[in-house]
Structures are given as structure tokens and as C-alpha cells.
Structure 1
Amino acid sequence: MAHYFEERPQAASRPGTVALVLPDLHLRLETDRGVFSPDRIDHGTRVLLESVPPPPADGDLLDLGCGYGPIALTMASRAPAATVWAVDVNRRSLELCERNAKSARLDKVRSVHVDEVPQDVRFRAIWSNPAIRIGKEALHGMLTRWLDRLTPDGAAYLVVQRHLGSDSLQRWLNDQGRPTSRLTSRAAYRVLEVGARREGTVSDR
């Protein structure tokens, strides 16, 4: 079975478009098979984008698991002076995100593979609809890798379905020394707000 978190999806290409409609933004985005939620904006993504506070106005921001770009493009639209790193393992997703950013004239979006982000970049905000279905161990490793790159005053916002383990994820993040609270709960989704790691805690990497 093909998964949207494969680097090179096996699914044959079948291009399409979806509309991203928010109170402050209206975009038409290119999509394709083999990427996450190609037929519509995922409901969890919409809950996230309608719930999060405005991103920092400048600096480096991260969309972790960008897909074809609805989160990254929203961040870039709301913070036009910031650099938005749109990262994914899926090469097809990255190509779509890059094209969608160009079409929207959001030229500070950087669509790059997860292994191509410079190591010295630190993020003032991370927004993500993370790939929960990769499994708990892989999820924890992925989140540890990127949350470690928050600036001391930075925050991450993660949207997770309740029945896919949002509450246990919140407990785990707190146990890792990352102060985590529930920003909102809507339609079976939780949006978690995660702060930078407190001093004196140790990762379980």
C-alpha cells in the first residue's frame, strides 16, 4: 500500500485542485495523488489554521509535513517578512508546494526535503498536522528532532485527532520537559501548543 509519507509515491499522477478558504485567505492549490488529502483541505488542517495565533512577523518558521502547502502558504501570507520552511519527505508534495507558493506569489516559502534544512536554522514557530500514522516511535523521533530547533521563545502548534492519541501525545511532550497545553478542541481534533524544552531535561532519543 502506498503512503503519502513515502519519499517517492508509487501512485500514478492524477492532478487536481482544491480551494483553501479562510477568513483572511483564499487560494486555489494544485494537488495530486500520492500526497496527503489530495481531494480537499484536511479538516484537522483547517482546525489548526482557524485556531492558531498569528505567527511571528519575521525570522524562520516551519511547516512540518507540508504536503502541497496549505499550512506553509497560510504562514507566509500572515507573516510576509518571515522565511517559511515547508518540509516533507514526499518529493511530489514538495514540488506541489513550491508551485503553489509561486502561484500565490509567496516568495519566502522554501520547499525542501527534511534532510536539506540547514542545521543552524532555528524556528520561532512550528505549525504541523503531523503524520501520526507513521507510528509512535517514528512520530516521537520526528517531533524531538524538530522541536529541539525551536528558539527559546518559540512555540509549536500541532493538530491531532483525539482518537489517534492527542491526549497521550500531550502527556509524552510534557514528560519530555516541553510544556504542552491544549489550545482548542473541536470536532474530535485537539490543537496542542508546545513550548521550547525547559532547561535541565533530557530527551529520550
Structure 2
Amino acid sequence: MAQYFEERPQAASRPGTVTLVLADLHLKLATDSGVFSPERIDPGTRVLLETVPPPPQEGDLLDLGCGYGPIALTMAVRAPHARVWAVDVNRRSLELCARNAKTAGLDRVRPVHPDEVPSGVRFAAIWSNPAIRIGKQALHDMLTHWLDRLQPGAAAHLVVQRHLGADSLQRWLSQQGRPTTRVASRSGYRVLKVEAAQAQERKAR
């Protein structure tokens, strides 16, 4: 079965559009088959975007698992002077995200494959609806890699379904030396705030 986290989806193209309406923005987004939630804005994504605090206004921001771009574009609207890295392994998603950013006039969004983010970039914030279905170990490895790139004092906000392990993920993150708190809970989703680990704690792991 094809998965949205494949690099090159085999599903035949079926272009479509969805509309993202929040209190502060209205975006029409191009979608396609073979990407995450192509027929509507995912409910978890909506919970995140309606509850997360404003992003830092400058620096580098990260949308981890950008899909066709609803989170990355919202970050760019809310922080117009920041640079937003929209990261995904799915090449079709990246093409759509780039198209949607161009249509919206958001030229500070950079849709890229994970390998294309320069190693020296450190993030002032991370927002993500992470791909839980890649498996626990792969998820842990992915989160560790990117959370280690938070700037000191910065935080990530992750949205995870309760029945897909939000509470166990919160415990695991805290055990890794990353203070993690639940900042919102709605419609079966948890929004977790993950603070950057202290340097000595990262070294100890």
C-alpha cells in the first residue's frame, strides 16, 4: 500500500484543492493524491494552528513533515521576516508546497528534502504534525535529529493523536532530557511543547 511518507509516490496524480481558513489567514492550497490528507486540512493540523503561540518573528523556523504546506505557510504569514524550512521526504509534497507558497506570495518558504537543509542551520521554532505511522523507532530517530537543532531556549510544538501514542511520546521526550508539556487537548489530539535539551543532557545521551 502506498504511503504519504514515500519519497516518490506511485499513486496516479489526482490534483485537487483545499481551503485553510484561520482567524488570521485564508489560503487556497493545491493538493494531490499520494500526499498527506489531500482532501481536507487534517484535524490535527488545524488543532495545532489554532492553539500554537505565534512563532519567533526572525530566524529560521521548521515545519517538519510539511506535506503541501498548511503549517509552513501559516508560519510564514505569522512571521513574515523569518525563513521557513518546509521539510518532507515526499517529492510530490515538496512540489505542491513550493507551488502553494509561490501562489500565496510567501517567498521566504523553502520546501526541501531533509538532506538539503544545511547542517549549520539552527531553528528558533519547530512546528510539526509528525508522521507517526513511520514506526516508533523511526519517529524517535527523526525527532531526535531535528530537536537537537533547536536553538537554546527555543521550543517545538507537535500535534499527535491521543490514541496514536501522544502520551507515551510525551513521556519519552521528557525522559530524553527535553522538558515536554501538553499545552492543548482537543478532538482527540494533544499539542506538545518540547523545549530544547540542555547541552550537557544531549552530551549524556
Query: What is the distance in 2 between the residues matched to 1:87 and 1:180?
Result: 23
The reply to whether residue 76 of structure 1 matches residue 76 of structure 2 is yes
Matches within 5 A, 1:1-205: 1-202=1-202
CA separation in 1, counterparts of 2:23 and 2:184?
A: 18
Q: Which amino acid aligns with 2:91?
A: R
Q: Distance in 2 between matches of 1:67 and 1:136?
A: 20
Report the CA distance shift for 1:199/1:121 in structure 2 as closer, same or farther (over 3 A).
closer
The 4+ residue runs of structure 1 with deviation greater than 6 A are none
Amino acid at match of 1:68: Y
Deviation string 1:2-35 (CA, Å, 9 cap, x unpaired) is 0000000010000000000000000000000000
- Write the letter of the residue equivalent to 2:24: D
Kindly report the root-mean-square deviation, in angstroms, between the aligned alpha carbons of the 2 structures.
1.1
Q: Percent identity?
A: 77
Could you tell me how far apart the structure 2 residues matched to 1:69 and 1:98 are?
Answer: 8
What is the TM-score with the length of structure 1 in the denominator? 0.98
Displacement, 1:41? 0.1
Seen in structure 2, the aligned counterparts of structure 1 residues 202 and 61 have a Cα distance that, compared at 3 Å, is closer
CA distance, structure 2, for counterparts of residue 164 and residue 171 of structure 1: 14
SS in 1 for 2:200: coil
CA distance in 2 between counterparts of 1:111 and 1:189 reads 26
1:156 alignment partner, SS class: strand
Q: Secondary structure at the match of 2:27?
A: strand
Length-normalised TM-score, structure 2: 0.98
Aligned length, in residue pairs? 205
Once the 2 structures are TM-superposed, how far is the Cα of residue 199 of structure 1 from its aligned partner? 3.6
Q: 5+ unaligned residues in a row in structure 2: which ranges?
A: none
